[in-house]
Structure 1
């Protein structure tokens, strides 16, 4: 199992992610996971952005990635606001 750090997640969420990072992820044959801390860092980072299109777009991309972790949504939203 590979646990991705926040910087890897933020890279793949970019409009044009680094090709080396995306190639590496595509080549991974192990299970890939993220931690609750990474989720909290992503959500906290979005909360720090000023309201607007960039914040909305990034929030939508993060929620799309996190949608596979249903059932923990309330906890992660609370933790991300701490």
Structure 2
């Protein structure tokens, strides 16, 4: 099972997405693709800081379609179990001198909790998190 990171979803809704990313997603069973509530929040935050207009409206429609049809019932929540994983990941990285953002630590914690692989362009952001990571831009 795979968890799509924010940058992968952003890429997929672009007018001309990266061919490697599209090809990778197209070869996966839809039922194997997930994302997190953290990623959904990051995506919608980006949408809401855009000025009102046609571009924002088009993007909002594409996002609604993606989340309601594409990933319906496959958005993983940050819960009590992932909170404990978060504490382990964030504290380990801090002690190792490689801090991590709260959002990235939450995403890593959710992946760890479920044993899912993270799909992201930002592989180095998730180093030393104890999860499998792959980059469809390069693989």
TM category (shorter chain) comes to 0.7 to 0.9
Higher relative contact order, chain-length normalized (CA < 8 Å, sep 6+): 1
Q: Considering only aligned residues, what root-mean-square deviation do their CA atoms show, in Å?
A: 1.3
Say which structure is richer in helix: 1
**Cα deviation, residue 66, structure 1:** 1.2
Deviation at 1:46, TM superposition (A): 0.3
Q: Distance in 2 between matches of 1:46 and 1:63?
A: 11
Higher strand share: 2
| 1:66 maps to 2:90 | no
2:51 is paired with a residue whose SS is coil
Q: Which runs of 4+ in 1 moved over 2 A?
A: none
Q: Which runs of structure 2 are paired with 1:36-51 in the superposition (5 Å)?
A: 36-51=37-52
The corresponding residue for 1:77 is: none
Provide the TM-score with structure 2 as the length reference.
0.47
Alpha-carbon separation, structure 1, partners of 2:16 and 2:32: 24
Partner residue in 2 for 1:6: 6
